[in-house]
């Protein structure tokens, strides 16, 4: 799908790294040509005052639902290696790297270990040649520190970022909730929130030793965020991510045993939720991703302790992030940085910002448009959203991939 003719978007509010401004954006040959009015022969789109932002880059999803991603303004997604079979072999990575084109780019994350078992390093260099943009530990933490150090050293040699799931498995075991008053009241198997801080402390120490780049995919506790904040201050190449559930919800959302709120990491206490919002405001957290993980009734219509974790997040990602703007936690350029610019930079793709020469992946957004999240109407393969029934604001009104309209 190649852009046939140049396209100029006029009458929009451009959200750039330098701020929000009125202006025009010209797209030609699949890239952003510049901030200028239309040339002779250009197609012209009147944005009618809508926000013009780069297509979102979703770092760390577990499934690709094109309709859901397009609804949410996502034009690129980094797919976790937890597939069936796992992405631990070059041919599988190569297939995934081509699977979404032309209207959706899927960036595979190579499995760190064979079978994601946490024991033997996978063929990471071959998978990089096959199209992997980073390496990931999957849903689980690598418990063996020797294996993790070798992984970080190898990834540093290949200049690949390691995407880590930070929960000490020895502490979490089969827990489904965070230890505290709510889990006690509900009688749920629970683990202390310190399981995250312990895992983060070790992974940061090993990344510092190896001189590697580390991205902790989901940060959910005050103690762990303090560790990342301190590591950044001393120059460690660590970045952090979060999904909307952990800045919008606390473990109070599990009070009715609703399995749509069964997540990994589990929902935390109110203090941790506020700590996440503070970390979004001060720059400690670099990425907001959807964690898109659609789960059908066979996985969710079970007792809470037996249900699988995960949420369908692609369609609600942008709207939930815009709540941070309305609440004064971040401004619009910072929101776009969290949703697009930073994940693109971490993955090493030339996208995620309104800048000349970048990929012409563009979304037009009405930030005030109201809608109600309804799991029954979602385009995802399953509607397991913890935000079901919630009124919200912010909808994508048009989407372009490489300068070509999607949908």
pLDDT digits (tens, 9 = 90+) for 312-335: 999 999 999 999 999 999 999 999
The residue ranges of every structural domain in the chain are 56-351+374-389
Which CATH superfamily includes the segment(s) 56-351+374-389?
Answer: Metal-dependent hydrolases (3.20.20.140)
Q: Mind listing the pLDDT tens digit for each residue in 15-66?
A: 998 999 999 999 999 999 999 899 999 999 999 999 999 999 999 999 999 9
Span 125-132, mean pLDDT?
97
| Residue 1: per-residue pLDDT | 67
Global pTM reads 0.96
Residue 305 has pLDDT above 80, yes or no: yes
pLDDT at 162 over 80: yes
| Three-state SS sequence of the chain | CCCCCCEEEEEEEEEECCEEEEEEEEEECCEEEECCCCCCCCEEEECCCCEEEECEEEEEECCCCHHHHHHCCEEEEEECCCCCCCCCCHHHHHHHHHHCCCCCEEEEEEECEHHHCCCCECCHHHHHHHCCCEEECCCCCCCCHHHHHHHHHHHHHHCCCEEECCCCHHHHCCCCEECCHHHHHHCCCEECCHHHHHHHHHHHHHHHHHCCCEEECCCCCHHHHHHHHHHHHCCCCEEEEECCHHHHCCHHHHCCCCHHHCCCCCCCCHHHHHHHHHHHHHCCCCEECCCECCCCHHHHCCCHHHCCCCECCCCCHHHHHHHHHHCCCCCHHHHHHHHHHHHHHHHCCCCCCCCCCCECCEEEEEEEEEEECCHHHCCCCCCCCCCCCCEEEEEEEEEEECCEECC
Question: What mean pLDDT, rounded, does the chain reach?
Answer: 96
Segment 223-265, tens digit of pLDDT: 999 999 999 999 999 999 999 999 999 999 999 999 999 999 9
> In the chain, pLDDT over 90 holds for what percent of residues?
96
């Amino acid at each position: 799908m190649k852009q046939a003719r140049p396209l100029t978007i006029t009458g929009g509010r451009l959200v750039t790294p330098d701020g929000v401004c009125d202006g025009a954006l010209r797209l030609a040959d699949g890239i952003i040509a510049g901030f200028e009015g239309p040339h002779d022969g250009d197609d012209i789109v009147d944005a009618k005052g809508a926000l013009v932002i780069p297509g979102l880059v979703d770092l760390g999803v577990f499934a690709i639902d094109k309709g859901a991603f397009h609804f949410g303004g996502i034009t690129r997604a980094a797919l976790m290696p937890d597939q069936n079979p796992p992405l631990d072999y070059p041919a599988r990575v190569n297939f995934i790297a081509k699977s979404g084109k032309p209207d959706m780019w899927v960036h595979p994350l190579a499995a760190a270990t064979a079978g994601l078992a946490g024991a033997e390093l996978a063929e990471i260099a071959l998978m990089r040649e096959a199209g992997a943009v980073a390496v990931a530990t999957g849903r689980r933490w690598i418990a063996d520190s020797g294996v993790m150090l070798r992984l970080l050293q190898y990834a540093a040699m290949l200049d690949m970022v390691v995407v880590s799931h930070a929960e000490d498995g020895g502490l979490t075991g089969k827990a489904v909730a965070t230890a505290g008053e709510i889990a006690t009241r509900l009688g749920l198997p629970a683990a202390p929130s310190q399981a995250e801080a312990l895992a983060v402390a070790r992974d940061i120490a090993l990344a510092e030793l190896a001189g590697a780049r580390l991205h902790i995919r989901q940060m959910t506790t005050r103690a762990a965020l303090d560790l990342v904040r301190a590591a950044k201050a001393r120059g460690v190449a660590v970045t952090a991510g979060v999904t909307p559930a952990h800045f919008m919800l606390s473990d109070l959302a599990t009070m009715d045993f609703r399995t749509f709120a069964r997540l990994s990491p589990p929902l935390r206490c109110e203090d941790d939720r506020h700590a996440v919002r503070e970390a979004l405001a001060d720059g400690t957290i670099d990425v907001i991703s959807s964690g898109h993980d659609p789960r059908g009734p066979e996985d969710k219509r079970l007792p809470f302790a037996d249900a699988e974790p995960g949420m369908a997040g692609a369609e609600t990602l942008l709207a939930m992030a815009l709540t941070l703007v309305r609440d004064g936690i971040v401004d619009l350029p910072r929101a776009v940085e969290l949703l697009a610019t930073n994940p693109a930079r971490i993955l090493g793709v030339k996208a995620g910002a309104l800048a000349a020469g970048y990929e012409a992946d563009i979304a037009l957004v009405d930030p005030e448009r109201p809608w109600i999240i309804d799991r029954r109407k979602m385009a995802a393969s399953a509607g397991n959203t913890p935000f079901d029934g919630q009124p919200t604001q912010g909808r994508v009104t048009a989407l372009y991939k490489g300068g070509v309209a999607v949908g």
